[in-house]
Structure 1
């Protein structure tokens, strides 16, 4: 594994999960080290630094210019992802960002082109697909336990984030909606399991034009809805498999106990929640009499957000890391193409593609499997 010194920009709520992963990786002997943090709220960055030995709080520009930062961890809001990534690349830094890679496919392509020109690497969440949940399902597919994959279903239903989120406005404005919010987890898992997507056909709808905030200081306040809140579509993988995707802020519940199911000529898989790193994979083989829980057989054990950075460090250059920019770009393109298909009422060919990421062997630390 290559030693990698990380500077983190953005110290909001999600940063806590990354900090916990840095601690776990260090306890396992990883050479991925957090050395600096920055945030528009200087006090918030100072509080993180004060709690961690060897970490200093800097301004954003100071962090980007710091000689001891090899990789910038970009935990800013989605609208800022592309610009922070471009600034880091211009400074000669590798980049790893929270999903999505950028607010638009066009911006993500700019990031990838700049990284290629500068000779630096790009990684991007979600890295949940590197955990034992999705990777055990991937191992079952690779081992032929379901025969030839034919189809998959991926379902995420919720009546809406305004029921619990005190400031849910973003979810109902351009750039929000159920697909762009939660779709990265599901589409990344589907590409990991079945390979890249070559075309999409989508439809979308909106149950209502207003939502009422259900908690916090703004409880009872009404906000407008300007995006479709139910998106469904079919993804045609280059392998020929067809995935049906349903992402909704308008529905209540589903009897489908597995968020993702993969069906093949010799069996079906129930795949765990792609927003988690672990979970149970079950198999119903052709001719069987029920679901069989599969033992954990692949993936990084007890992993968490940020393991994609360690995987990047353990992946020899110029190989693409498993949670790499090329995959994140393709996933974003798939989602934007699906929304465009729904808007235009026609099948859309996805312009980008990617290699199906290599499987993760069962291990505790990237590079040691």
Structure 2
């Protein structure tokens, strides 16, 4: 199958993971990287043996079919629209936009041009999460009734070299980490029907403790502790907490409770991990992972799936409709907190197709 040329815009921290994982997937041909900081693009290109270009030259390159947008959240829609205007399919880092209003522009523009739109996270395609999906689909825990999803930490200023954007519009624990959890929950349970949420911002600034900006104070413009409940179209009810205000906790990342059993799903920020299950007749026990892509960081698998889908004509899994739905759900937590009401979710994406258990390494079909 003819390889698909991709170009990466944004050469920050996360670009390293994408470029390392690109070599796994035979369908991908990384043609160039670009960044507003030409030196950053040149350094990243040299590191991986890839050409560095200006953003404009990358968008004009006819050999590039997919633009991978790894810019900061505030720039996701602006850069995505430029790529679509240039006739490129787009895969964006999460979130799809910092609001559903601006993200809708991307969805509509891609549809109008007949182009594909996708977005991270693609970790739900990891082996552990696909095995968990298979267990749910096969009725291993019966009908899912409820669940929990927890991400809580003291904040990213402890480790990220330039964490200020995590506390501005488009950041915060919900828009930063929520996509991993809510996308995986939609993969497992289907779309969300309504949301009830509460949110708090206990500090107006943070002090960076990581290098090279240790001691720098950054403003906090977004809620840093968000909690609430998701009601799924299926009827399942899941409690969610996303926080940058918690020193430590012992909750599992995701637990699902069904009529016949319970399932522990590993961290959705990773592709693998330990799956555990319990039933009335058997206490917690490990469940073997049945799918590949569980033993490493495959953080470009969604792009590879889009590329494979372009060549075969099928739908891609980490698609724009899914990402828009997840953004609408995340936005609803703050809307619910502000209004004191449940928020009905208007979008209803299909669950992305499950990965087969017999996929060959380096492929997705």
Answer yes or no: same fold by TM over 0.5.
yes
CA contact (8 A) 1:79 1:103 kept: yes
CA distance in 2, matches of 1:366, 1:242: 36
Distance 1:62 1:249, change over 3 A: same
**TM-score of the superposition, structure 2-length normalised?**
0.94
Instruction: For residues 215-262 of structure 1, give each alpha carbon's deviation from its aligned partner in whole angstroms, at most 9, with x where no partner exists.
Output: 334433444333221100111110011111001111222222x21001
Q: After superposition, where does 1:47-66 map in structure 2 within 5 Å?
A: 47-53=43-49, 55-66=50-61
CA distance in 2, matches of 1:250, 1:38: 35
Match of 2:285 in 1: 292
Match of 2:153 in 1: 158
Match of 1:188 in 2: 183
Match of 2:277 in 1: 283
Alignment RMSD: 1.8
**TM-score of the superposition, structure 1-length normalised?**
0.93
Q: C-alpha displacement at 1:10, in angstroms?
A: 1.1
CA contact (8 A) 2:24 2:362 kept: no
Q: After superposition, where does 1:1-369 map in structure 2 within 5 Å?
A: 3-25=3-25, 30-53=26-49, 55-256=50-251, 258-288=252-282, 290-302=283-295, 304-315=298-309, 319-362=314-357, 363-365=359-361, 367=363, 369=365
CA contact (8 A) 1:129 1:192 kept: yes
DSSP-derived class of the 2:230 partner: strand
Distance 1:312 1:102, change over 3 A: same
Instruction: For residues 94-119 of structure 1, give each alpha carbon's deviation from its aligned partner in whole angstroms, at most 9, with x where no partner exists.
Output: 11111111221111111111111111
Instruction: For residues 62-118 of structure 1, give each alpha carbon's deviation from its aligned partner in whole angstroms, at most 9, with x where no partner exists.
Output: 111111111111111111111111111111111111111122111111111111111
CA contact (8 A) 1:300 1:366 kept: no
For structure 1, list consecutive stretches of 5 or more residues without a partner in the other structure. none
CA distance in 2, matches of 1:196, 1:228: 24
CA contact (8 A) 2:155 2:244 kept: yes
Q: C-alpha displacement at 1:328, in angstroms?
A: 0.5
Q: C-alpha displacement at 1:345, in angstroms?
A: 0.9
For structure 2, list consecutive stretches of 5 or more residues without a partner in the other structure. none
Query: After TM superposition, where is structure 1 displaced by more than 6 Å over at least 4 residues in a row?
Result: none
CA distance in 2, matches of 1:96, 1:224: 30
CA contact (8 A) 2:305 2:364 kept: no
